[in-house]
């Protein structure tokens, strides 16, 4: 699969199907450090990033916020001293869509740009 972070997100509505098991397996190969968790019956991509201090963690949180706003697709972000936890999933469909994997890849790229 080409560089996932370069893919375009699609508009998502409640009638859009969730990613199939095969699609999830293929897409997950591009973001292997992300966990696929089932939380309250909905699959989500989840990852924790470690940063140098609170200022860096806040800076990274803001970068994720910019990514989210650009696509009108918003994750759960938990900010702590030197740590940011992120969960991506498509709220409209109650699970995972290709968009979530794209934004996970973009989140990784934003983190790598800070290093």
Total number of domains in the chain: 1
Asked, for residue 103, whether it belongs to a domain, the answer is yes
Q: Is the pTM of this model over 0.85?
A: yes
Containing structural domain, residue 106: 38-115
Per residue, the 3-state secondary structure of the chain, as one string, reads CCCHHHCCCCCCCCCCCCCCHHHHHHHHCCCCCCEEEEECCEEEEEEEEECCCHHHHHHHHHHHHHHHHHHCCCCEEEEECCEEEEEECECCCCECCHHHHHHHHHHHHHHHHHC
58 within some domain: yes
Domain with residue 114: its CATH number is 3.30.1360.20
Task: Give the pLDDT score at 49.
Answer: 98
Q: Is residue 109 assigned to a domain?
A: yes
Q: Is residue 32 part of a domain?
A: no
Strand 83-88 relative to strand 76-80: parallel, antiparallel, unpaired? Answer: antiparallel
Residue 1: predicted pLDDT? 45
**Each residue's pLDDT expressed in tens, for the chain with a length of 115 residues:** 459 999 989 877 888 999 999 999 999 999 999 999 999 999 999 999 999 999 999 999 999 999 999 999 999 999 999 999 999 999 999 999 999 999 999 999 999 999 8
Q: Is residue 71 part of a domain?
A: yes
Is 33 inside any structural domain?
no
pLDDT of res. 84: 98
Asked whether residue 25 is assigned to any structural domain, the reply reads: no
């Amino acid at each position: 699969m080409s560089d996932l972070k370069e893919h375009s997100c699609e508009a998502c509505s409640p009638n859009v199907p969730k990613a199939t098991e095969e699609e999830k397996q293929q897409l997950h190969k591009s973001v292997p450090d992300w966990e696929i968790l089932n939380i309250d019956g909905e699959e989500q991509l989840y990852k924790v990033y470690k940063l140098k201090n609170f200022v860096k963690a806040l800076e990274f949180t803001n970068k994720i916020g910019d990514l989210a706003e650009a696509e009108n697709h918003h994750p759960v972000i938990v900010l702590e001293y030197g740590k940011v936890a992120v969960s991506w999933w498509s709220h409209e469909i109650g699970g995972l869509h290709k968009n979530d994997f794209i934004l996970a890849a973009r989140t990784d790229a934003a983190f790598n740009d800070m290093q």
